[in-house]
């Protein structure tokens, strides 16, 4: 499972014409090994430094951005905390704990219904947030 995810990411890098560098390999390792924790840039930076001699924080940010933009990973944006990264690209709900900050994935079986999901996952919901990003009616009309 681990091996596959890593190879899979590396294959995707090649397909996209991105170069394979020791830094990127270290970051892929860090991402896959810690995927359940939905790691942030700092965690990845620390983990990656254990595996590659030299990795800078700038590189970690640039790489995570590159990966997100190419659809290899998904960026979960936050305000008060570091952004976190998710290897699971499928439609799913993130359950975020107010107290410990842990982020759990909960995959969507059927047309989703927030309260149901929460109950089944043993999670008490205090705040729901749903965003659909895309293009609004006005922007679709505009030519530019």
Task: Tell me, residue by residue from 3 to 32, as one string, x for binding to its own copies by CB under 8 A and - for no binding.
Answer: ------------------------------
Query: Per-residue string for binding with its own copies, 36-65, x by CB under 8 A?
Result: ------------------------------
135 near its own copies, judged by CB under 8 A: yes
- Where do we find the tokens 């900050």? 101
Residue 107: its H or E element = strand 103-107
* Interface characters, 74-113, with its own copies (x: CB under 8 A): --xxxxx--x-------x-xxxxxxxx-x-x------xxx
The token pair at 91 is 């439609």
Residue 134 binds: one of its own copies, DNA, none (C-beta under 5 to 8 A by kind): its own copies
CB of 54 to its own copies, least distance (A): 27
Question: Within 13 Å of residue 97, how many CA atoms lie on the same side as its CB?
Answer: 12
The CA distance from 20 to 13, in Å, is 7
Rounded to the nearest angstrom, the gap between the alpha carbon of residue 115 and the centroid of all alpha carbons in its chain is 24
Segment (H or E) for 76? strand 74-76
Q: Residues 1, 17, 131, 143: which binds its own copies (CB under 8 A)? A: 131
């Amino acid at each position: 499972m681990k091996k596959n995810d890593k190879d899979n990411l590396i294959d995707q890098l090649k397909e996209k014409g991105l170069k394979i560098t020791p830094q990127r390999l270290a970051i892929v390792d860090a991402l896959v090994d810690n995927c359940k924790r939905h790691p942030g840039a700092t965690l990845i930076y620390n983990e990656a430094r254990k595996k590659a001699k030299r990795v800078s924080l700038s590189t970690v940010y640039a790489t995570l951005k590159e990966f997100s933009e190419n659809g290899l990973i998904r960026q979960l944006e936050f305000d008060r905390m570091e952004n976190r990264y998710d290897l699971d690209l499928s439609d799913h709900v993130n359950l975020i704990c107010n107290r410990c900050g842990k982020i759990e994935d909960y995959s969507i079986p059927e047309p989703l219904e927030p309260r149901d999901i929460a109950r089944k996952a043993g999670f008490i919901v205090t705040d729901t947030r749903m965003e659909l990003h895309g293009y609004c009616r006005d922007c679709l009309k505009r030519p530019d």
